[in-house]
Chains A and B, each alone.
Chain A
Amino acid sequence: MWKAEIRVLLKKSVLDPQGQAVENALGSLGYGNVQDVRIGKYLEVSFDAGSRQEAEAQVREMSERLLTNPVIEDYTFELVEE
């Protein structure tokens, strides 16, 4: 069994209005040193696959077909064997 820990963030070129709002809120709490906040999604997908290589290929496929929108989002992932 594999567990993919997938992190999805808006691309750098896409403005993140939620991150901006949180950044401003942190600023008003006195954290004047905060320069950027980006808000994304974290997904855990548990599944069976024959090998690490096969598991990685599947995570990429799932991410590109459904879990992310490649027009506005980037993703990274880690695979944990369970």
Chain B
Amino acid sequence: MKFGVVVFPGSNCDLDAYHLVKDVLGEQVDYIWHQEESVAGFDCIVLPGGFSYGDYLRCGAIARFSPVMKSVVSFAGGGGLVLGICNGFQVLLEAGLLPGALYRNINLQFRCLFTHLKVENLQTPFTVGLEAGRLLKIPIAHGEGNYYADPDTLRRMEKSGQIVFRYATANGEVTDTANPNGSLANIAGVCNEMKNVLGMMPHPERAGEAALGSEDGRLIFKSILKSWEGSR
């Protein structure tokens, strides 16, 4: 399986994602510069975290018009796997590949800490390898991760299993105190209706080795591998 990590000007988690795939998982990976017009040859596209285009105007608003995004949108439309992490999640929302929006954390703080994620849907390519009921300990690092969707959209998403991760306590309870940024319904990650595009604020690529304090992020990439192998 071959991963592609998109690099926008201002991306800064591209190296972490590359390292996890190549050195920890031992899979193939290449960077894809944002000026590229094709993502042919890749099986999963990762939009990494960072501050693409300096977060000018709105996070992700300018990156989504990069030449590479046209092919990412058609890749996703054809069922290709796309994972947007943090700023990558913001880019996916701006590109219209995922519903809703992310804006300023309710506490106005840049939050950088480990969170516990309750997995709400095990039937996505990104979660299919997870044990039911297992929490994921994965860090966040963002100032604009406050998820919003209008009530009708949220209802539709809940119904079709598009809420994938929620911020929870270490015991797995979804409470206000476990919510680091004010996200609606504690939402930390969502997918599209087809389930092949996932956006999440927490950084699985920063939690792939014991030395980093958690290996849970690796489980998401392992799920991707499992579902990709299953689809062949």
Contacts and interface: CB of A to CB of B under 8 A. Distances in A.
Contacts of B100: 71
Contacts of A10: 103
Sorting the interface of chain B by its residue count into under 10, 10 to 19, 20 to 34 or 35 or more gives 20 to 34
A17 B104 contact: yes
A72 B104 CA distance: 11
Given A15-B106, A66-B57, A71 B65 contact: no
Contacts of B104: 17-18
Contacts of A14: 103, 148
Interface residues of A, number: 12
Contact of A13 (B103, B107, B150): B150
Nearest to B62: A66
B105 interface: yes
A37 interface: no
A69 B101 contact: yes
Contact of B57 (A17, A18, A67, A71): A67
Contact of B149 (A17, A18, A21, A71): A71
Interface in B92-124: 93-94, 100-101, 103-108
Contacts of B101: 69, 71-72
A17 B104 CA distance: 7
B108 A15 contact: no
A72 B184 CA distance: 13
A15 B100 CA distance: 15
Given A66-B65, A67-B57, A17 B148 contact: no
A72 B103 contact: yes
A48 B163 CA distance: 45
Contacts of B105: 17
A69 B107 contact: no
Given A17-B107, A18-B104, 7 more contacts: A15-B106, A17-B146, A66-B57, A67-B57, A72-B101, A72-B103, A72-B148
- List 6 tightest A-B contacts by C-beta distance, closest first: A71-B101, A72-B101, A17-B106, A17-B104, A17-B108, A69-B101
Interface of B: 57-58, 61-62, 65, 93-94, 100-101, 103-108, 146, 148-150, 182
20 contacts: A13-B150, A14-B103, A14-B148, A15-B182, A17-B105, A17-B106, A18-B104, A66-B65, A67-B57, A69-B94, A69-B101, A71-B93, A71-B100, A71-B101, A71-B148, A71-B149, A71-B150, A72-B101, A72-B103, A72-B148
